[in-house]
Amino acid sequence: MISYFKARQWMVDDARSRAPHLGVERMPAEGAAGRVSSEDVLSAHAVPGFDNSAMDGFAVRSHDCPARLKVRGVVVAGDSSQTHPVPMDGACFEIMTGAPIPVGYDAVVKVEDVRRLETPSGAAEIEVRDPVPAGQHIRRAGLDFGRQSLVLARGERIAPEHVMALASVGVTEVSVRRLPRVAVISTGGEIVSAGTASLLPGQVRNSTTPYLLSALAQYGVSVLSAMSCGDDPSQFLRALAAALELKPDLILTTGGVSKGKYDFIPEVVKALGAKQLFHEVAMRPGKPGFFASFSGGPALFGMPGNPVSTAVALRFFVWPWIEALLDLPEEPAVWAELDADAAKPPELQCFYKATFSQGAGEVDGPKVSLHAGQPSFMVRPILESNAWAVLPETQTPVAKLAAGVKVRVFPLHPNQAFGSIHSRRAPAEGPAGGCC
């Protein structure tokens, strides 16, 4: 049995060795949100492309003001700055927001800051009562993006804001890393379809596969297949062969990796020539986790079958593997104080369902509250959580962390803020902690 950090590092190292071979593809920028850029994108154009007005008002020459000025015309967005007469003493142009600054004019006065005058001839005139600094209310060309400005960095996950920026500099296609490809195999003779209306004694609805398919899609992964088989090595071998034919980057299995009579996955995988990197991790839930790599082929991560063990394994093993494969930076943790004493098994790192609250100010800082119902078969507490609290290994005879101890905290899913709790039901009563 190895530590969580060592196991995680071995998985990350495996993914990094694969990253250079992942491949890239071109795609429309407007559909690229969520993908990872494979190259730096620089602006070929200045944005704005011309000096323009930041206000509705009047384009003036700063050295004329204060003054009484004749309005020589109106400049609107879409006009050319070259189409207006050359400047002359005592003249100005009415100008709209976004319109180009006429040649020879160097400032804009807001419409609220001038007085419109009536003249006997009916000519439009204004009075500017105060001095006007040069450059006032003008958006200079290139103020947002200069030529060769970095718009999107290699290895950056593309957000809708990037798409907006790319469009503003005229980029309509981007190069992105290929989506990681995953195949899923669930095992267990007791597992039946989630849609099974009536269960026979001993049967359990399959909740892990629907969870994995949903979460992997949210994580930006292409799921090639989702298969299931009973507690039969030959059935699993056929499912594994079918998965390997699809050439995934990673095969995920659920169940069949512990120490029971029917936990055959590690032996079957090793018999096919895969190299085992680890089997059993000092953590809870998810202790029986198994990781292996096929030479010239995919990695395989075997997860325990209980639903919360699957959720923890996906969050704290599979996601770091995906991050490394896509050359993304490691996700940082948030530190928060336990709001109550927390029991835990010694020598195991624990990943507990929890609620994180930000607190107010330095005195009342971030807090985390562990939920009752930590056993890995219990799904309801996740609906009452917005976070995972990571309790470190302890060596003390009485395995307990005191209230006020700071622990690492992560959102339920990566790329997700600590949002509102899914369920508004009152949390289940009972002690926090518990076994897998």
**pTM of the full structure:** 0.82
pLDDT, tens digit (0-9, with 9 covering 90-100), for 202-239? 878 888 899 999 999 999 999 999 999 888 899 999 99
Mean local confidence (pLDDT), 252-261: 84
pLDDT band at 190 (very low <50, low <70, confident <90, very high): confident
Check if the beta carbon of residue 223 is closer than 8 Å to that of residue 208: no
What distance in Å separates the CA atoms of residue 138 and residue 37, rounded to the nearest whole number? 34
Give the per-residue pLDDT at 29: 97
Which two structure tokens, joined as six digits, stand for 40? 């730096």
pLDDT, tens digit (0-9, with 9 covering 90-100), for 72-97? 999 999 988 666 666 778 999 999 99
β-pairing verdict for 125-128 and 67-75: antiparallel
What is the Cβ-side half-sphere exposure of residue 47, based on CA atoms within 13 angstroms?
18
Give the per-residue pLDDT at 122: 72
What distance in Å separates the CA atoms of residue 16 and residue 239, rounded to the nearest whole number? 27
β-pairing verdict for 115-117 and 125-128: antiparallel
Is the pLDDT at 255 greater than 50, yes or no? yes
What is the rounded end-to-end Cα distance, in angstroms, of the chain?
A: 16
3-state secondary structure 69-130: EEEEEEECCCCCHHHCCCCCCCEEEEECCCCECCCCCCEEEEHHHCEEECCCCCCCEEEECC
Give the per-residue pLDDT at 434: 47
pLDDT band at 360 (very low <50, low <70, confident <90, very high): low
Which of 192-196, 366-370, 377-381 shows the highest mean pLDDT?
Answer: 366-370
**Chain centre distance of CA 215:** 12
Domain annotation for the chain: domains and CATH numbers = 2-23+180-325 (3.40.980.10), 32-45+146-177 (3.90.105.10), 52-139 (2.170.190.11), 334-411 (2.40.340.10)
